Every structure is written in C-alpha cells, then in structure tokens.
Structure 1
Amino acid sequence: METNFQNVRVLQSLTSHTSDVTSCDFSTNFVLVTGSSDKTVRVWDWIVGSGYSERSYSPLLGHKYSVTCVKLSPQGCMLASSSVDGTTVLWNMHSGSKIHVFVQINGDAVRVCRFSGDSTILVTASDNGALCVWDVIHKSLVRTVTDSEGTIQSLAFTPDSKYLVSGCSVEKIKIWLVSSLADTTNDFCLPLYSVDNAHDLGILYLDVSKTIDVDGILSDKLVKLFKIHDNMNIDELSFLHLDESHTYPVLHVEFSKSGKMLATCSLDGCAIVWNMSSGLKIFEIPQNSLAVKDCRFSADETMLITVGDDEKAYVWDIVSKSLIVMVQAHLESLTSTSFTPDDKLMVTVCTNGEIKLWNILTGTNIFTELYAHDLGINFCDFSENMEPNPLVQSNGKQNYLLATCGNDSLVKLWLIAYSKASESVTVKNWRTLVGHGGNVMCVRFSPKFSELVCSGATDKQLRVWSVYSGTCIQVLNHDSIVTCCCFNFDCSFLAGGCLDKTLWLWKLPEHLTVELSFTRKIDIRKKDVGEWNNDDVLEWLTGAGLQSLLSKVASFNMDGGKLLTMKDDTIFNELGFDEEEAIQFNKELKRLKEAERTFLNGFRSSELLNVPHRFFCPITHEIMREPVVCADGYTYEKQAINEWFMSGRYTSPMTNETLPNADFYFNNELLNEILEFFNDND
C-alpha cells in the first residue's frame, strides 16, 4: 500500500517543555511520553476529538540534569527515563510514582535505555561505553559490560528478546546474546558479532524490525489437540481441522467444563467455539479490529466471555449466538477474565493492575480494586469450590476465591463475599504467594475443590501451591519462559506451555492426588445422609472398612435416600449379601441411621436444651458428629480438625502451641454421651 505524504499535516503542537525535546515514545494505546533538557518527563493522553492532553501527575520530576531518553515498557505499565545526571528512573505509569532509581556505573551520563520484551530486564548505556544490565524484578545490577570504545548512543532488543543490538560513536554495531548478559556465572561476556565502520561519524540511532518470521517464531496460528493414554503415550488428534481458522497467533484456548466444546481466540480479533465431537464451528463472534486475549466458558456452558485490547468485555449467548451484554471495562487493555462458579458474576483484569467485578445480568460494575498488582495483571481464575474457605461463616453471603498473577512476580488469592440481596461485595487479599523470579504469566486452580493452584512465569518455572497453607509444594523447571499452565480433571497431570514451542507434561506426585481424595471424604460429611449420591455411599463404606461390598453397592446405584427409606431385608436381598456381609452392613447402617436421626433432632432443638458445653467443637461451635482427640488432649469435630491441618496450621486451636504430630483418635466415650443426651431428650 502506497502512502501519500502530500496529505501529511500537523495535528497538534505540544509546547509545555521549556527546552529542547530529546526523546519521545508511544505506547500501544496512543499514550505519548516526552523527555527534555528542561529535566522533566511529560506524559500525554490522546483524547478523541481534542488531541493530546497532559496527565494530572505530569510532569515527572526527579532528574537533576537533562533527560536523554524515555522508554515505555512493552506492556505500557512502566516508564524508564535516563539522564545526564547518571541515573535511570523507573516510573509507575498508572500513578506517576517512582518505582526505583538505577545509578549508572561510575555515575556517567546515561544516553539510552531499553526494556526486554518481557519487561524483566532493563539495559542502560553511558558515555564511557558501559552497558549496565538491570534486573527489573529485584531492582538489582546483573552485569556491567565495558567492551565498547566509544559512547553507546542506541540500543534495541530483537522481538523475541534473544539478542541485544548496540550502536556507538566509533561507528560499531554489536550484537549480544541476552542469556549471556544475564548469566552471572560467567565473568566475561563478549558480543556474538560486530560490524565495524557501519556509519561514518558514528551511530546515533538503530532499531530492529518488530516482525521476524511470524509463522516460525511468534506463532504458527495452529490449535493442536493431544490424547494422553494410561501408559503415558501421547497421540496428536487429527480429526479436528483447526489449522485454517485464525489468521494471526492464537492467544488462548479453553475447554468447556464437560469437554464437549473448545473456544479459541486470536490476535486477529476472532473467537470461535468448536464442537469437539464433529470438529465443526458452533459459533464465531463478530471480528474485532483488535486482539482478543482471553475467552472463558460459563459453568453451565451457555455463555462465553471475550476480552482484549479494545478495553471491553463481551458476554455471548452460545445457544442463540447473540450478545448478552457488553461493558466498557477498563481504560487499558484487558488481559484476562473469568466467571464465578455459579455464573452470577464475572471478573476482568487489565494491564494497569485493576480488578473489576461485574453483575452478568445487568452489566454493572459492583467492585473495583485499583492497585491489585504493580505493573499489571496477566491472568485470573476463579476456584470452582463454592465454599473456598470452610472456616469462614457465610452470613447469608456467597463466598468465592479468585487467583490473579502479574508482572510483580506475585500470585494473589482474593476472598470475595457477595450478597445478592444488597448487591454488596467485600474483597480481601487472603494470601500472597511469593517465589517466582519473573513476570507470572498464568495461574490456574485445580478442578472441583481447588486445593491447589499452579502458576507459570518468565523465570522458566512452573510452581504448584497449596491454597490453604500458601506454601509452594512443587517447583518444576523448564528450558524456556512458561506462558501457560493447567491441571487435568483429576490433578494427576500438570501441563505447561513454553515460549520455545514446547509442551511439558508432568505427572504429579501420588500424595497430592491422595490429598484431593481425602478432601472428598471430608466433603461428604457436610451433607445430610439423605443428600448422598452413590459415590458418597461408597465413600462411607470405605471409611467403615467395608471395601468388600463396594462392587455390589455400586452396581445397585445406592444413594442416601435408599439407605434411609428401604427396609433392611430388601437392601440385603437386592444387593445379594451373604449372612456375614448382611451382619456387617446392618451394624454400620444402624449406627449411621441413629447418628443421623439424633443429630438432625439435636441440631434443631439444641437452642431449646441446656446442651453441655463439651458437646460443641471448639472450632465450629457446633455439636460434634465425629469427636476426635488430638495431640493437645482436646476434642474436636473430625472434619473441622482435618480442615485445620489442611490449611497448613499445625498448632493447637485451643493453646496455639505447636503440635508434635497431626494424629488423632475417636472419642467414643464422648460420642456415646452425646447420643444418650439427645435420646433422653427426644
């Protein structure tokens, strides 16, 4: 396409600086920054219809002498400004506040500064030819290279941040391997290649094309599906032809909860919902002019959210293929979104570090957290568990647990309490997970009970965290930046995708899946027996030591309702129990029925009776069903103390002293007292 330069005209002149403008830079959302010899940095926002207007916190004051270079980070969250005073200041673009001041080696004048593509490295260069490589995350100097003979006046990273190019006043261009610059185990670092006499009289500026073999390096635009067999063999599925769907890199893929649908979204502004059985398109959203960065299914699989660079969130009806609601969500690019597990609310996050909660039906914003993460949020995910913290009383509110991750190297867990009646929301930063040494790109909960959370980062690590203790229980190292991660349905596998086009599949330690099974056993005790399904009945039999009866009970599809209402003889005959099996089953069934009747009556009438204080659990303050004695000598409800230990606390709930172990035994004497008390008061 030819450009007619005869039509080029001046749109606006900005005259706020009082001396020569030495540097300027744009961000993707048209924000303009300028630096000047008047020692100031100014930030300008583009206002449609009126032009550029200076931000409220501008100008940025912090340099003692002329500003030589200004550069925005690739995500637009940070700004670096260099000066003749020998410093480079890192600024928060959202608030205008200083993040850190980097002082050049020997205090020499800094001529240029550049961010790496993932914003984790900042390189500055000075009059004496020294290159300083800075760790932006830890605000520390990684390496100083003094190989240049003249003043380095220009720097540029390649789009994949593998190489750094420098140009200096003695006419030389040098190419550096970034991994070598960042490797502190080697004392010396030499350029990979050098070009002499590149320009007469020196090099003032250079840049690298942002497009390098897009098909081969940035993305192949493909969506690939794999099947994992029990013997650990992996086959690529070829019956779905998704390779001609998107014209630019695919940014996110998401299965529906049942696995019957797949959603894909892309830099080309499209999002597509696929039928996993036929491989055909179910729904393709109208193409957006800007990238769609995330797409998520609702739990009931009737809705899809899409968010992206146009700063809006869209909720689509998959069945009718129509738009339900669109919200102008943020003033910056949206990076991720998610539904609550009951599909009542949705969350959006963006590059300026904001979290917003929305009522899906009305499209109204019901909560905003302005500074959730410094330097922007990359991903978010809701726990599927509708009771994410069993030790928190609901008080008529629905509780949710949200995970977010960002460029500040942190993963944060947020407890959200929502009252539908008053449309009120309270949000608390419940835990902050610290351990990554780079931008955290993705965070996902384990399915169903969500006791685990995984996160991948630019430090080439995939980490597995315990939600309840907040501790990191697995660190999995990769050869490249980890860009995405997720668990399979039963948490036996964990997948991590990397920038170098590799997919890593990890088999998780068996003790983790045992813990998940253990949580399932705890969960069934929260239900009345009449609400049990067949799986709950099988769990009860296993806990009672009657594993030999599992196959017979499973084939009959026995549930809690049948247990309580069918006659004993009918159950024995239908299940084909022999005499010994019938005696064992009858003994446990009688105990179960008596406990259920007693406790249902007891809970309903406990306020009318003078119930002894020792019958109540010190943790839940409810009458105990399964009293157990712990190492501290006190008695607790079994479910409550199990959850206490699972939350990572190994101190006594009564004395707060560290327990020697997490063992306990049943307090049968107290249980008999409780049963007798309520039987006598029936």
Structure 2
Amino acid sequence: MYFQGLNNCFHVNPLPSDVLIIMASLLCTLQDHRDDVNCCALSDRFLASCSGDKTVRVYSLEDFREVQFSPLRAHACGVHCCSFSSCGRYLASCSTDALTFVWSTSTGAAVAALEHPARAPVRVCAFSPDARFLLSGASDGTLAVWDVTSKTLQRCAKVSEGSVLACCFSPCGQMFITGSSQGELHLWTLSLNTLHTEREAHHLGVTCCHFCPQMSIDGQTVKFRLASGGQDNRLKIWIVSQHATAGYEMMLLYTLSAQSAPVLCCAFSFDGQLLISGSVDKTVTVYDANNGELLHTLTQHERYVTACAFSPCALMFASASMDKTVNIWRIGDGNAEPSEPLKTTVQESVGLCSRVLRKIKDLRSSLMDSDVPKHFLCPITRELMKDPVIAADGFCYEREAIESWINTPNHSSPWTKLPLKNTILTSNRSLKTAIQCWKSSH
C-alpha cells in the first residue's frame, strides 16, 4: 500500500481573534487502485473504495493501511458504488456485473450476492439507517429493495426512463430519494409508492444526492435537508417537508455554482454543518451547509472527482477520483502559519459553526478509546443510548438525559447553546435499531 502524507495544505489569512476558520488539511493519499476510483465510503472504523479495476479495498482509519482481508475481488466487472451500514457490520458494493455484494466488515466474507432483476448493470447502492434494507439502482431505470437479513428481494420497480444514478435513505428510514439521468428526483416509501416528484431537478441529469443526517421539527412538520448534484454544474440544497396532514413537499433552498463542470458527488457532515461536493472540474468544494457559503476549493486531484464521503462520527472526509487515488481530509480550525486565503470576510454564522465543530471534535476525541460507534453515544451522558430521540436542534440524545436538560430553566441546545425552538422529542427508531444490532454483534 502506497500513500503520501501532507499536512496543513490549506490555511487562511489572519482574522480577528473572535472569528474562527474551518480548515481542510490533507492527511494522506491512497494509491492502490489500478483504474478509476468510482466511489468511497466511511464507517466509524474503516474507509472503503471501489474501482474500475473490479476491486473493493478496505482501510483502517487508525493508520490508513489496508486491512488483512482487502482487496475484495468477487466482482467480474468494474465496481461503481460502495456503502457501509450505519452499524458498521456490513459493506455493500455493486457493479456492471449486475451483482450487489454484501460483505462482513469483520472477516471480509461475502454474506450475500444479490443479482439485480433482468441482470441490469447496478450503478448505486445504499443501506437504510437500521441496516434492514438495501437499495440498488440500475442502468435500466429499475430500483430493487432487498431485505438484508433474509437476503431476498422485497420489491423491484421501474422508477425512471433513464439510469438510476443516485439513491439515499432519509435519516428516519421511512422514505428514500432517487435521482436519474433524466434529471428528476423521486421521493418514495419503502413499498415504492411515490411521495413527491421533482421533474426538472437538474438539467441533463441528476448524478448524486444525500440527505443531511439531522432533521428538524417545526410544529407538526418534520423537515429534512437534501443535497443533489447534476450535469448542469450545480449543487442544490432542498428542504423536504413532511406535514402531518398536507403530505410532502420539496422547496429549493440554495443553488450553488462554485464548480465549472458537472457535479458528480456530494455529502453532508455527520452534524449537518458542512457540505462537500466533487466535480468533473477536478475540485472538491466545502460549503457551510446552513447558508450555502463556499469555504474551500480543494484542487489536489488531477482528474474528475467521482466520490466524496464524510465520516459518520469524526471531522474527516474522503474524496475519490479518476486519477486512481483517494484523498483523506481532516477538518479543523488550525493555527499554522497562513498561506492561502479562502475568504477575506467571514460572516458570524461561519464562526459559530466553527466553534460548534471544535466542541464536537473535543468530545469525540475524549471517546476515541471506546469501541462503541461514536454516534451511538448520548452527547450529554456519553453513554450508549437506549431510547434515542431527536430534539429541536436536530441532534440525537438519550430521552431521559435530554428531558432532564429541558426541564432546567435554561432551554438551550446541549450542542449549540442556542435556544431550542420547542421541546418536542421524536423517537429515532432507526438509530435505536442500529444500536440494538450493534449490541447483539458484540
């Protein structure tokens, strides 16, 4: 395994002491694939990448070295996509060979080989938050829903006249989105009933989509943020609203045009504060997801950036490229000597976002010695959650802990310290199931 280490690649000009800047530093570059790297994924312990060389490679996040069972070589054709389950037990990969493999991350063994109906090339795959279901989208416009436990096909339907190039579950696990080469976004139930259709989401085709892990509650409305990228060189942020009585709707919040060529990939950070995207123009962009403001443009890749993914529990992300490499980046508010200005003015919201991220980073660091996935721990008690709930700030807490917090005179968010809009708590059933799944395997 070959990798190059670089530190503090991007810095900023000095700013007033009360304004903090989010930094992106390149930790290392992985160069083991022999063809285009088509996708990358991160769990709390591993990084996976897949390639046109027919392999899936798995690395430890402790030292960025390949694990003993890597590479995985079951596919007969180029591998288009890979995805971890939230509990970290499984890794899925899909290929032109019409197969979607489910791998054990403990042994590297293939626990399932799922053949797409009509043997259509599979372009994308994604687990549900509770790891019960797996989506696979194909070039013939069909989408398959698989039961992971029984390894059986639950449903399959034609969902587009073009290729299905993107799919992602909502954080609640009750619905998912698909994007196609026809340019539309479709919102579905698990039974493949249509909830909403955005016909012209991206001119010339949708290439990627990703739900923000956090959601918010406003009265009787649950709101999700969704990012999508397309052949129109645009990255868009949408608000998907689920009303108690009025159903579903999608509203365009931001259209981001920092990249000069088709946007091929996008991903939110685990806390919903940052959004990254990769493009045919060879760049990776980093945005403040709250206001759509560009924070970084990273130019280390030499060819198209095909994939990007955040860690589910740390301030780290990866980007993959047709230059056969995977770059691993760290987010922080470094104090090294400045070299390249990102912005000459920074709004107060960016500073606040940085302070929140630094607090999260400190908390995560204190838990690094634990084998428990970090997002399974309550931010208040720092213990494994039994009854996780989502508060008005969009973060998950142990029900008893957040109820006690809310009952104090200070009705503020434990994370952001900002006032909570309301005291409504929503059960996170998908996270609860993922925790129970993890406990049973340990």
Q: TM-score range by the shorter chain?
A: 0.5 to 0.7
**Structure 1 residues 534 and 458: alpha-carbon distance in aligned structure 2, compared to 1, 3 A threshold:** closer
Q: Which residue of 2 aligns with 1:286?
A: 115
- One-letter code of the match for 2:76? T
- One-letter code of the match for 2:275? V
Counterpart contact for 2:178–2:186, Cα < 8 Å = yes
Secondary structure of 1:515's aligned partner = helix
Q: State how far apart, in whole Å, the 2-side matches of 1:437 and 1:331 are.
A: 27
Are 1:344 and 2:174 an aligned pair? yes
Q: Which residue of 1 aligns with 2:388?
A: none
Q: Which residue of 1 aligns with 2:196?
A: 367
Q: How far did residue 395 of structure 1 move?
A: 3.1
Q: How far did residue 296 of structure 1 move?
A: 0.3
Q: 2:280 aligns with which of 458, 466, 490?
A: 458
- The aligned runs of 1:525-544 (5 Å cut-off) are 535-537=379-381
Q: Residues 345-380 of structure 1: CA distance to partner in whole angstroms, max 9, x if unpaired?
A: 1111101110111111x3211211111111111011
Q: State how far apart, in whole Å, the 2-side matches of 1:435 and 1:496 are.
A: 17
Report sequence identity in percent: 26
Are 1:413 and 2:233 an aligned pair? no
- The aligned runs of 1:500-515 (5 Å cut-off) are 500-510=323-333, 514-515=355-356
- One-letter code of the match for 1:415? I
Q: Residues 220-273 of structure 1: CA distance to partner in whole angstroms, max 9, x if unpaired?
A: 1111111233xxx43122324512x11110000111112211000001111011
Q: How far did residue 291 of structure 1 move?
A: 1.2
- The aligned runs of 1:187-266 (5 Å cut-off) are 219-229=52-62, 233-240=63-70, 242-243=72-73, 245-266=74-95
Q: State how far apart, in whole Å, the 1-side matches of 2:115 and 2:382 are.
A: 48
- The aligned runs of 1:268-347 (5 Å cut-off) are 268-288=97-117, 289-347=119-177
Gaps in structure 1 of 5+ consecutive residues: 1-159, 161-217, 388-392, 522-532, 540-558, 566-591, 600-623, 627-636, 643-682
**Structure 1 residues 225 and 396: alpha-carbon distance in aligned structure 2, compared to 1, 3 A threshold:** same
Q: 1:404 aligns with which of 211, 219, 228?
A: 228
Q: How far did residue 285 of structure 1 move?
A: 1.0
Counterpart contact for 1:485–1:497, Cα < 8 Å = yes
Q: State how far apart, in whole Å, the 2-side matches of 1:491 and 1:317 are.
A: 29
- One-letter code of the match for 2:192? G
Counterpart contact for 1:537–1:560, Cα < 8 Å = no
Q: State how far apart, in whole Å, the 1-side matches of 2:411 and 2:209 are.
A: 38
- The aligned runs of 1:102-113 (5 Å cut-off) are none
- One-letter code of the match for 2:184? E
Secondary structure of 1:279's aligned partner = coil
Counterpart contact for 2:332–2:358, Cα < 8 Å = no
For these two proteins, the number of residue pairs brought into alignment is: 322
Q: 1:469 aligns with which of 291, 304, 311?
A: 291
Q: State how far apart, in whole Å, the 1-side matches of 2:307 and 2:326 are.
A: 10
- The aligned runs of 1:132-171 (5 Å cut-off) are none
**Structure 1 residues 256 and 564: alpha-carbon distance in aligned structure 2, compared to 1, 3 A threshold:** closer
**Structure 1 residues 467 and 300: alpha-carbon distance in aligned structure 2, compared to 1, 3 A threshold:** same
**Structure 1 residues 422 and 364: alpha-carbon distance in aligned structure 2, compared to 1, 3 A threshold:** farther
Q: State how far apart, in whole Å, the 1-side matches of 2:169 and 2:401 are.
A: 36
Structure (1 or 2) with the larger CA radius of gyration = 1
Counterpart contact for 1:490–1:513, Cα < 8 Å = no
Q: Residues 570-589 of structure 1: CA distance to partner in whole angstroms, max 9, x if unpaired?
A: xxxxxxxxxxxxxxxxxxxx
Counterpart contact for 2:90–2:104, Cα < 8 Å = yes
Q: Which residue of 1 aligns with 2:339?
A: none
Tell me which moved more, 280-289 or 436-445.
280-289
RMSD: 3.1
**Structure 1 residues 640 and 236: alpha-carbon distance in aligned structure 2, compared to 1, 3 A threshold:** same
Q: How far did residue 434 of structure 1 move?
A: 1.7
Secondary structure of 2:215's aligned partner = coil
- One-letter code of the match for 2:380? D
**Structure 1 residues 519 and 495: alpha-carbon distance in aligned structure 2, compared to 1, 3 A threshold:** closer
- One-letter code of the match for 2:157? V
**Structure 1 residues 328 and 560: alpha-carbon distance in aligned structure 2, compared to 1, 3 A threshold:** closer
TM-score (structure 1 length as normaliser): 0.44
User: Which structure is richer in relative contact order (CA contacts within 8 A, separation 6 or more)?
Assistant: 2
Q: State how far apart, in whole Å, the 1-side matches of 2:361 and 2:320 are.
A: 30
Secondary structure of 1:300's aligned partner = coil
Q: Residues 459-489 of structure 1: CA distance to partner in whole angstroms, max 9, x if unpaired?
A: 1101111110211111110222111111123
Q: How far did residue 561 of structure 1 move?
A: 5.6
Secondary structure of 2:66's aligned partner = strand
Counterpart contact for 2:80–2:122, Cα < 8 Å = yes
Q: Residues 119-165 of structure 1: CA distance to partner in whole angstroms, max 9, x if unpaired?
A: xxxxxxxxxxxxxxxxxxxxxxxxxxxxxxxxxxxxxxxxx9xxxxx
Counterpart contact for 1:381–1:402, Cα < 8 Å = yes
4+ residue runs of structure 1 moved beyond 6 angstroms? 562-565
Counterpart contact for 1:292–1:307, Cα < 8 Å = yes
Q: How far did residue 418 of structure 1 move?
A: 1.4
Q: State how far apart, in whole Å, the 2-side matches of 1:596 and 1:562 are.
A: 10
Counterpart contact for 1:534–1:560, Cα < 8 Å = no
**Structure 1 residues 561 and 293: alpha-carbon distance in aligned structure 2, compared to 1, 3 A threshold:** closer
- The aligned runs of 1:560-579 (5 Å cut-off) are none
Q: 1:384 aligns with which of 213, 236, 246?
A: 213
- One-letter code of the match for 2:260? G
Secondary structure of 1:262's aligned partner = strand
Gaps in structure 2 of 5+ consecutive residues: 1-35, 37-50, 335-352, 363-376, 384-397, 422-442
TM-score (structure 2 length as normaliser): 0.66
Q: State how far apart, in whole Å, the 1-side matches of 2:162 and 2:247 are.
A: 25
- One-letter code of the match for 1:366? L
Counterpart contact for 1:248–1:266, Cα < 8 Å = yes
